[in-house]
Amino acid sequence: MTNQLSPLPDAPPPEPPVAPPTTEIPSPAPGASAAPRRRLGPAAAGLLGLCLGAGLVGGIWAVQANSEPGDPGAFTLEGEFALTDSVGPIGDDGCGGLRGYDDIQEGTSVTVYGASGDVVATGALGASTYDRSSYDCTFEVAVSDVPKGEKFYKVEVSHRGTLQLSAKEAEGGEFAAGLG
Query: Model confidence over 109-127: pLDDT tens digits?
Result: 999 999 889 999 999 999 9
- 40 beta partners: none
- pLDDT at residue 103 is higher than 70: yes
Query: Model confidence over 39-49: pLDDT tens digits?
Result: 767 776 667 66
Number of H helices, E strands in the chain: 2, 9
Is residue 88 in some structural domain? yes
Is residue 79 in some structural domain? yes
CA nearest neighbour of 105 among 92, 90, 119: 90
Q: What pLDDT score does 58 carry?
A: 63
| Mean per-residue pLDDT over the chain, rounded | 78
Question: Could you tell me the residue range of the domain that residue 120 belongs to?
Answer: 74-179
Query: Contacts for 90-93 with beta carbons within 8 Å, 24 or more apart?
Result: 90/128, 90/130, 93/128, 93/129, 93/130
Q: What pLDDT score does 135 carry?
A: 86
Split at pLDDT 50, 70, 90, the class of 60 is low
- pLDDT at residue 101 is higher than 60: yes
Is residue 87 in some structural domain? yes
The CA angle 173-179-180, to the nearest 5 degrees, is: 150
Is residue 172 in some structural domain? yes
The predicted model gives 73-90 an average pLDDT of 89
Is residue 12 in some structural domain? no
83, 178 Cβ separation under 8 angstroms: yes
Question: Residue 93 is part of a domain; what is its CATH number?
Answer: 2.60.40
The predicted model gives 5-19 an average pLDDT of 61
Split at pLDDT 50, 70, 90, the class of 132 is confident
Higher-pLDDT residue of 98, 31? 98
The predicted model gives 57-85 an average pLDDT of 72
Q: What pLDDT score does 154 carry?
A: 92
Is residue 66 in some structural domain? no
Is residue 61 in some structural domain? no
How many CA atoms does the CB half-sphere of 160 hold within 13 Å?
20
**Tally of structural domains, the chain:** 1
pTM for the model stands at 0.58
- pLDDT at residue 56 is higher than 80: no
Three-state DSSP state, 88: strand
Is residue 169 in some structural domain? yes
- Write the burial class of residue 114 (CB in 10 Å: 0-12 exposed, 13-18 middle, 19+ buried): middle
